[in-house]
Homo-oligomer: A and B are copies of this chain.
């Protein structure tokens, strides 16, 4: 079956030569790959408007509906403006300077990032007011922070004496400065101090140490993601805002009035943005929304901008099909499911939500779906999946395909 015909022999010789060159150029190849990919994509891009994305791209592919994205960004900007609260969106959701620039254009006063690498990427893209909502620890990360502080305004979270001291130490003799936000635990029980007294200790230390400015307090009331109803989300938001007001008052009494009181994730931003004392909201996921936001009542289906396009690749028995998107595309993040929500994403086929289809199991490249045996989903069909958690899906992609009305319109690189 695999006999070596003359033509194949020639091919083989060429292949050996090619391979030896490939070995030498392996780093170059890796380096050039991104560039060639980009060129190919630009050439596809030029056909935008006539190319149907379903026939243009290899699945699985992460798509972002640009009309929905723009609406989401605009709406949050308008909400912040109408309520007199600063909007500092969290870009960990998209890691894209392109989308972050759209957010600035619609009223954001600066951006929030989760990591020093994200800060680095955004500073390189021209952003000059970056808050790292993270308690940065580790020599090299701190040194990078100090370098960034020389050219852009950097804020950083802290919740420990160790953390604050390291921030100051790393700035050393330079004239660089960092803003410090004391992280408060308002119920998520992740990071953050829990008492006003602890906050005062840290604020005093920040003001005493060289290079640091005490800017205010921040929290991520992420326990709202575990709520079972919109009413519970609202209650958690209001309670967290009350805690922040209390701690702000204690700091003020101690002589350290916070100029910024920052909170408000996507489920709670519309709630805490109207609460007295809150000066800044930091939602992230709202640009895309996802199935978790649907379950929480924070978004409607027509507000979900990010979708994974996949093919049905197998249908071994009635009631089971396999999609070509697995944990390396959708991630294994189940979110914190609301009542009745199952599986790793919501499947849409020909514009119809397949409520009865459940992505029950993921392998790395397989999504095993159970559905009613009389379903007409067949091998070769293309589906859209609204993932449970959009932020981790974008992070798994190198590029997201920006689409308008189902057609490829732009490419969005994921930059860190």
Cβ of A187 to closest chain B Cβ, rounded Å: 12
For chain A, residues 1 to 17, give those with C-beta under 8 angstroms from any C-beta of chain B: 1-2, 7, 11, 14-15
Across-interface contacts of A189 in B (CB, < 8 A): 316, 320, 368
Q: In the complex, A99 Cα to B171 Cα: how many Å?
A: 40
Across-interface contacts of A314 in B (CB, < 8 A): 135, 137, 159-160, 163, 190-192
If A126-B19, A379-B163 touch, whether A365 touches B213 (CB-CB below 8 Å) is: no
Task: Decide if B313 touches A59 in the complex (CB within 8 Å).
Answer: no
Task: Decide if A19 touches B379 in the complex (CB within 8 Å).
Answer: no
Task: Decide if B380 touches A327 in the complex (CB within 8 Å).
Answer: no
Any chain B CB within 8 A of the CB of A231? no
Task: Decide if A392 touches B328 in the complex (CB within 8 Å).
Answer: yes
Task: Decide if A56 touches B379 in the complex (CB within 8 Å).
Answer: no
Any chain B CB within 8 A of the CB of A58? yes
Cβ of A31 to closest chain B Cβ, rounded Å: 6
Cβ of A66 to closest chain B Cβ, rounded Å: 18
Task: Decide if A392 touches B332 in the complex (CB within 8 Å).
Answer: yes
Across-interface contacts of A126 in B (CB, < 8 A): 18-20, 22-23, 26
Any chain B CB within 8 A of the CB of A194? yes
Q: In the complex, A157 Cα to B144 Cα: how many Å?
A: 47
Across-interface contacts of A71 in B (CB, < 8 A): none
Cβ of A335 to closest chain B Cβ, rounded Å: 10
If A15-B128, A137-B324, A366-B190 touch, whether A31 touches B26 (CB-CB below 8 Å) is: no
If A22-B126, A55-B139 touch, whether A162 touches B332 (CB-CB below 8 Å) is: no
Across-interface contacts of A415 in B (CB, < 8 A): 30, 33
Cβ of A269 to closest chain B Cβ, rounded Å: 17
Q: How many copies does the complex hold?
A: 2
Any chain B CB within 8 A of the CB of A292? no
Task: Decide if B31 touches A191 in the complex (CB within 8 Å).
Answer: no
Any chain B CB within 8 A of the CB of A274? no
Any chain B CB within 8 A of the CB of A224? no
Q: How many residues of A contact B (CB 8 A)?
A: 100
Task: Decide if B58 touches A313 in the complex (CB within 8 Å).
Answer: no
For chain A, residues 126 to 166, give those with C-beta under 8 angstroms from any C-beta of chain B: 126, 128, 134-141, 144, 150-153, 159-160, 162-163, 166
For chain A, residues 300 to 350, give those with C-beta under 8 angstroms from any C-beta of chain B: 311-317, 320, 322, 324, 327-328, 331-334
Task: Decide if A58 touches B117 in the complex (CB within 8 Å).
Answer: yes
Cβ of A366 to closest chain B Cβ, rounded Å: 6
Task: Decide if A124 touches B22 in the complex (CB within 8 Å).
Answer: yes
Any chain B CB within 8 A of the CB of A74? no
Task: Decide if A18 touches B151 in the complex (CB within 8 Å).
Answer: yes
Any chain B CB within 8 A of the CB of A396? yes
- Please name the 5 residue pairs, one residue from A and one from B, whose CB atoms are nearest each other, closest first: A19-B126, A22-B126, A191-B314, A332-B332, A137-B313
A residues whose Cβ falls under 8 Å from a Cβ of B: 1-2, 7, 11, 14-15, 18-20, 22-23, 26-27, 29-31, 33-35, 38, 55-59, 92, 97-98, 114-117, 121, 124-126, 128, 134-141, 144, 150-153, 159-160, 162-163, 166, 175, 179, 185, 189-194, 213-215, 222, 259, 311-317, 320, 322, 324, 327-328, 331-334, 361, 363-366, 368, 378-380, 391-392, 395-396, 413, 415
New contact pairs (10) apart from A58-B141, A137-B312, CB-CB < 8 Å: A2-B179, A19-B126, A22-B125, A30-B413, A55-B140, A92-B364, A114-B365, A137-B311, A194-B316, A194-B317
